[in-house]
Amino acid sequence: MSDITHRTIDTNGIKMHIAEAGQGSLVLLLHGFPELWYSWRHQLPALAAAGYHAVAPDIRGYGGTDAPAEVESYTMRNHTADAVGVLDALGEETAVVIGHDWGAPMAWHCALLHPERFTAVVALSVPHMPRGPAAPIQLMKQVFANNFFYILYFQEPGLAEAELETDVRRSMRLLLYSASGDAPQVAALPQKPKEAKLLDGIQEPERLPPWLTEADLDYFTSEFKRTGFRGGLNRYRNMDRDWDDLPQLADAKVQQPALFITGDRDLVLAFSSIDAMKASVPNLRRMVTLAGCGHWTQQERPAEVNAALIEFLEEVS
Give me the CATH number covering residue 232.
Answer: 3.40.50.1820
Phi, psi values for residue 129, rounded to 5°: -115, 115
Query: Does the N-terminal peptide bond of residue 257 adopt cis geometry, omega within 30 degrees of 0?
Result: no
101 is an active site residue: yes
pLDDT at 188: 52
Q: How far apart are CA 183 and CA 246, in angstroms?
A: 37
Identify whether the C-beta of residue 273 lies closer than 8 Å to the C-beta of residue 260.
Answer: no
Per-residue confidence in pLDDT tens, the chain, 317 aa: 659 999 999 999 999 999 999 999 999 999 999 999 999 999 999 999 999 999 999 999 999 999 999 999 999 999 999 999 999 999 999 999 999 999 999 999 999 999 999 999 999 999 999 898 999 999 999 999 999 999 999 999 999 999 999 999 999 999 999 999 999 875 556 689 999 999 999 989 999 999 999 999 999 999 999 999 999 999 999 999 999 999 999 989 999 999 999 999 998 988 787 888 989 999 999 999 999 999 999 999 999 999 999 999 999 98
Other beta carbons within 10 Å of 260: 24
Closest residue by Cα to residue 166 from 208, 78, 228: 228
242 is an active site residue: no
pLDDT at 313: 98
Active-site annotation holder among 66, 82, 101, 242: 101
Identify whether the C-beta of residue 208 lies closer than 8 Å to the C-beta of residue 183.
Answer: no
Render 282-309 in DSSP notation, one character per residue. TTEEEEEEETT--S-HHHHSHHHHHHHH
Closest residue by Cα to residue 43 from 23, 58, 28: 28
Q: Where are the alpha helices (DSSP H) in the chain?
A: 43-49, 76-89, 103-113, 136-144, 150-153, 159-166, 168-178, 214-227, 230-236, 239-245, 274-280, 297-300, 302-316
Domain enclosing residue 187, as ranges = 5-316
Residues constituting the chain: 317
What pTM, to 2 d.p., does this model score?
0.97
pLDDT at 272: 80
Q: How far apart are CA 150 and CA 89, in angstroms?
A: 35
| Three-class secondary structure assignment of 27-38 | EEEECCCCCCHH
pLDDT at 203: 87
C-alpha dist (Å) from residue 279 to 116, 127, 282, 289: 22, 11, 6, 19
Q: How far apart are CA 285 and CA 255, in angstroms?
A: 11
Identify whether the C-beta of residue 21 lies closer than 8 Å to the C-beta of residue 42.
Answer: no
The total number of structural domains in the chain stands at 1
Q: Which residues are 258's β-sheet partners?
A: 121, 284
